[in-house]
Amino acid sequence: MELNANFDDRVVVHSKEMPWKTSPMAGVDRRMLDRLGGEVARATTIVRYAPGSYFSPHVHTGGEEFLVLEGVFQDEHGDFPAGSYIRNPPQSSHTPRSEPGCVIFVKLGQFDTADRTQIRIDTNHKAFAADDQRSGVETMLLFADDHEEVSLERWEANATINLEAERSIEVLVLEGSFEESRDQLKEQSWLRLPNGSTSSAQTGPTGAKVWIKRNHLMEAPTAPKV
């Protein structure tokens, strides 16, 4: 399966306007944002766990990264409330579930193959810092290496925020809204800009809080080997 799989394209998806699609596991539904591959895929997805649902035990051969958007995600490593940022590197494994139900934003099969860094951050207890290079922006760094940088950012109200994608950029709106290239992005809207893009975001009257990833598409993505 290929979905938004031309990474030279600008892509906007308003995920809350999409219907939920069932997964192979009862009670686990999804809204696909981009995808290369079948059930084993390089994928970016919003996933919803119904209360009491679970997923089969599995190994992340290409790594898994997710941000809990609603509810509480659970596995044998702990309970992770909304605002939790998790990186499960290649060759890690777990058995996901959620007794109260949850919604997560998840990226599968997109790690550097040598990455073995396990990260679990409750962003509710981590401070933002003013960005000295960009007026009206506060940042919270979640992860950075030679291949990518992942942060939360808060953008002040009625501000113009530069989005320079020298080596690609992805943005998921968590709160508030902004306009980019005449598209109005709101909660759980997702934007992907290709390498070499230059754009800007105009925030609304409440500003915006976003998850943002940079510098991760230097090499053309491929579907994982099954």
Q: pLDDT tens digit string along 137-183?
A: 999 999 999 889 999 999 999 999 999 877 789 999 999 999 999 99
Cut 0.75: pTM above it = yes
CATH 3.40.640.10 fits 19-123, yes or no: no
Q: What is the mean pLDDT of the chain?
A: 92
Chain segment 25-55, per-residue pLDDT in tens? 899 999 999 998 877 778 999 999 999 998 8
Enumerate the CATH 2.60.120.10 domain ranges in the chain, comma separated. 19-123, 127-214
pLDDT at 59 > cutoff 90: no
| Alpha carbons 33 and 210: distance in angstroms, whole number | 16
- Identify the band that residue 223 occupies on the pLDDT scale cut at 50, 70 and 90: low
Q: Options 2.60.90.10, 2.60.120.10, 1.10.1500.10, 3.40.1000.10; which CATH number does 127-214 get? A: 2.60.120.10
Tell me which residue of 197, 204, 153, 193 sits closest to 174, measured CA to CA: 153
- Identify the band that residue 88 occupies on the pLDDT scale cut at 50, 70 and 90: very high
Q: Is residue 17 left, alpha or beta, with left meaning phi > 0 and alpha meaning psi from -120 to 50?
A: alpha
Phi, psi of 23 (to 5 degrees): -105, 180
